[in-house]
């Protein structure tokens, strides 16, 4: 893994690119609403005419899925990563709030209906909107794909999207999913009230994270998304993963988009102790 010293100007330039890219973004709410149709027009199975390689041809609004140069997910390959210590720790300020759970057909989504807090990235605040799961994981680490990935979706006042990704391997149950499992197992097509859900129950487990600029991983594959992937791989039980797979529509039990070409994008790894020889 290459270790680089990146000055603050380069980091500022990196985030300026995020801001300049944001003018091309759809509203994340609009993008997510387009995914919740009862009969979803895309699938993850190649050879059906609706698989990931064909997403860009299904709908004119989805052309970026096939032509985009900032697509997600990607493989976080050690040789591509620039390790730095001055990117800054991920600042979360979450709070319990009313939430609902819904089977969107291609995934299970928890949406906060009240102010559930925010994250701070490079001085910009991003409001927490929702989270959902992909199985197996979409992002890979040196080609390794894990059993589950959680995406926590946030949006800034100028509608730039920031997603925190957390990957999981089989082991002990995930505490956040444990509190939701009975609701997930019994959801139908309608949105279900969860009462108060504390997003602080989502455990990160590591200060180290990867950051890069990418896209939504489902149609319309909107680009300009700020991705933060927690380096630590957490654990989830087989029962929890099976519950998420069992409730989605047929053909979406495995709902991970294949990794996309990097196209020369920088991948930063925040390591707060890199300058101490760690």
Q: Per residue in 98-115, pLDDT tens?
A: 999 999 989 999 999 999
Measure the CA–CA gap between 246 and 224, rounded to whole angstroms.
32
DSSP 206-272: -S-EEEEEEE-SSTT--EEEEEEEESS-EEE-HHHHHHHHHHSPTT-SS--PPP---TT--EEEE-T
> What domains, with CATH codes, occur in the chain?
8-273 (3.10.200.10)
CA nearest to 105, candidates 196, 236, 218: 218
Is pLDDT above 60 for 2?
Answer: no
User: What letters, b where the CB count within 10 A reaches 16 and e where it falls short, cover 132-156?
Assistant: bbbbbbbbbbeeebbbbbbbbbbbb
Q: What is the average pLDDT across 17-44? A: 48
Is pLDDT above 80 for 254?
Answer: yes
Please state, in angstroms and as integers, the Cα–Cα distance from residue 42 to each residue in 65, 101, 206, 252, following that order.
12, 22, 35, 10
Percent of the chain clearing pLDDT 70 (strictly above): 84
pLDDT tens for 227-236 read 999 999 999 9
3-state DSSP assignment of residue 182: helix
The number of beta carbons lying within 10 Å of the beta carbon of residue 69 is: 13
Is pLDDT above 70 for 67?
Answer: yes
**Catalytic one of 4, 23, 106, 242:** 106
| Residue 11 CA from chain centroid, whole number | 22
**Could you tell me the pTM of the whole model?**
0.87
So what's the pLDDT on residue 250?
81
pLDDT tens for 158-191 read 999 999 999 999 999 999 999 999 999 888 778 9
pLDDT tens for 86-100 read 888 889 999 999 999
Is pLDDT above 70 for 213?
Answer: yes
Question: Any catalytic annotation for residue 106?
Answer: yes
3-state DSSP assignment of residue 183: helix
The number of beta carbons lying within 10 Å of the beta carbon of residue 11 is: 17
């Amino acid at each position: 893994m290459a270790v680089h010293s990146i000055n603050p100007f380069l980091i500022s330039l990196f985030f300026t690119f995020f801001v300049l890219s944001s003018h091309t973004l759809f509203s994340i709410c609009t993008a997510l609403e387009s995914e919740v149709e009862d009969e979803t027009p895309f699938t993850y199975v190649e050879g059906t005419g609706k698989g990931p390689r064909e997403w860009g041809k299904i709908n004119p609004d989805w052309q970026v899925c096939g032509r985009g140069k900032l697509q997600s997910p990607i493989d976080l390959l050690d040789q591509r990563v620039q390790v730095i210590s001055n990117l800054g720790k991920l600042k979360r300020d979450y709070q319990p709030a009313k939430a609902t759970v819904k089977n969107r057909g291609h995934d299970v989504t928890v949406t906060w209906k009240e102010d559930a807090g925010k994250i701070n990235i490079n001085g910009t605040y991003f409001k927490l909107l929702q989270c959902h799961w992909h199985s197996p994981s979409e992002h890979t680490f040196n080609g390794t794909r894990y059993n589950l990935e959680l995406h926590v979706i946030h949006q800034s006042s100028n509608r730039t999207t920031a997603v925190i990704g957390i990957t999981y391997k089989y082991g002990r149950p995930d505490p956040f999913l444990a509190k939701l499992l009975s609701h997930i197992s019994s959801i139908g097509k309608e949105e279900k009230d969860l009462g108060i859900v504390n997003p602080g129950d989502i455990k990160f487990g590591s200060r180290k994270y990867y950051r890069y600029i990418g896209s939504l991983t489902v149609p319309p594959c909107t680009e300009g998304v700020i991705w933060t992937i927690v380096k630590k791989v957490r654990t989830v039980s087989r029962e929890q993963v099976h519950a998420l797979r069992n409730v989605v529509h047929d053909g979406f039990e495995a709902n991970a988009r294949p990794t996309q070409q990097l196209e020369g994008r920088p991948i930063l790894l925040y390591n707060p102790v890199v300058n101490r020889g760690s």
